[in-house]
């Protein structure tokens, strides 16, 4: 099995050392580089070609949000998992909108962080439905109405079936669960998800969920 190539980005050398020790025990993960600031990330990614970047949010020069946005704009963009101390941090939400595949808390159990890297490398977001809803609620503010209008305009590009799939993705269902809910095959669900991403110019399922939330489709009475 080809190991998952991982790049560690954190301005705290003790955190990087801890992550390196943690990941070093996993036979299917290879650490290909370390960076102490977002200014180093693009060059390192170009040189080391990681599959996943484990990215701190708060760094002195270029923060994880800006670095994530730059990385996700690349044609060969790696998946990004952001690291944070606070699970309701506004910067984390903005990082998800910039294209990060999810986030992990710095006090998460080591086995769960390793599992998060594996899941992201396999194309799965690292957000439980409960945490996703909490982050989405945190996003609500004075711009909620204009956000809802813009989101609904974008979702109007989807067909009825794609819209149904988008709502269930937003509710945190896996492909197999969506297939059972809508009486279709898992392969058909995957096709719909791929079309949604392509039509809306999104990077991953987390962004589908955020857009569905912004449009009000996850409300009890959402239409």
Q: Do residues 26 and 114 make contact, with C-beta atoms less than 8 angstroms apart?
A: yes
pLDDT at position 223, please?
45
Give the tens place of pLDDT for each residue, 99-141.
Answer: 888 778 787 888 888 988 998 888 777 765 545 555 556 555 5
CATH of 4-126, one of 3.60.20.10, 3.30.1330.20, 3.40.50.2300, 3.40.50.10320: 3.40.50.2300
Residues 6+ apart with CB under 8 A from 11: 36, 37, 56, 58, 59, 60
CATH top-level class for 137-215?
mainly alpha
pLDDT at position 45, please?
93
Q: Which residue has the higher pLDDT, 95 or 7?
A: 7
Delimit the CATH 1.10.10.10 region(s) of the chain: 137-215
**Mean pLDDT for the stretch of residues 82-87:** 73
Instruction: Find the Cα–Cα–Cα–Cα dihedral 161, 182, 212, 219, rounded to 10°.
Output: 120
Q: Do residues 94 and 55 make contact, with C-beta atoms less than 8 angstroms apart?
A: no
Cα separation, 121 vs 183, in Å, equals: 28
Residues 6+ apart with CB under 8 A from 147: 214
Give the tens place of pLDDT for each residue, 5-57.
Answer: 999 999 999 999 999 998 888 889 999 999 999 889 989 999 999 999 999 88
Delimit the CATH 3.40.50.2300 region(s) of the chain: 4-126
């Amino acid at each position: 099995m080809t190991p998952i190539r991982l790049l560690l980005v954190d301005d705290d050398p003790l955190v990087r050392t801890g992550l390196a020790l943690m990941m070093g025990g996993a036979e299917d993960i290879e650490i290909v580089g370390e960076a102490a600031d977002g200014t180093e990330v693009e060059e390192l990614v170009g040189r080391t070609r990681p599959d996943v970047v484990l990215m701190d949010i708060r760094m002195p020069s270029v923060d994880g949000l800006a670095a994530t946005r730059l990385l996700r704009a690349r044609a060969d963009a790696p998946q990004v998992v952001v690291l944070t101390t606070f699970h309701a941090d506004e910067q984390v939400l903005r990082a998800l909108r910039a294209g990060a595949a999810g986030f992990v808390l710095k006090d998460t159990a080591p086995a769960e962080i390793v599992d998060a890297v594996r899941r992201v490398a396999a194309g799965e977001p690292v957000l439980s439905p409960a945490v996703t809803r909490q982050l989405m609620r945190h996003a609500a503010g004075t711009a909620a109405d204009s956000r809802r209008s813009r989101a609904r305009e974008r979702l109007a590009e989807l067909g009825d079936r794609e819209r149904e799939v988008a709502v269930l993705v937003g509710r945190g269902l896996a492909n197999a669960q969506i297939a059972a809910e809508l009486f279709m095959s898992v392969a058909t669900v995957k096709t719909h998800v791929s079309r949604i991403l392509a039509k809306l110019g999104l990077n991953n399922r987390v962004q589908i969920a955020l857009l569905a939330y912004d449009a009000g489709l996850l409300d009890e009475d959402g239409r």
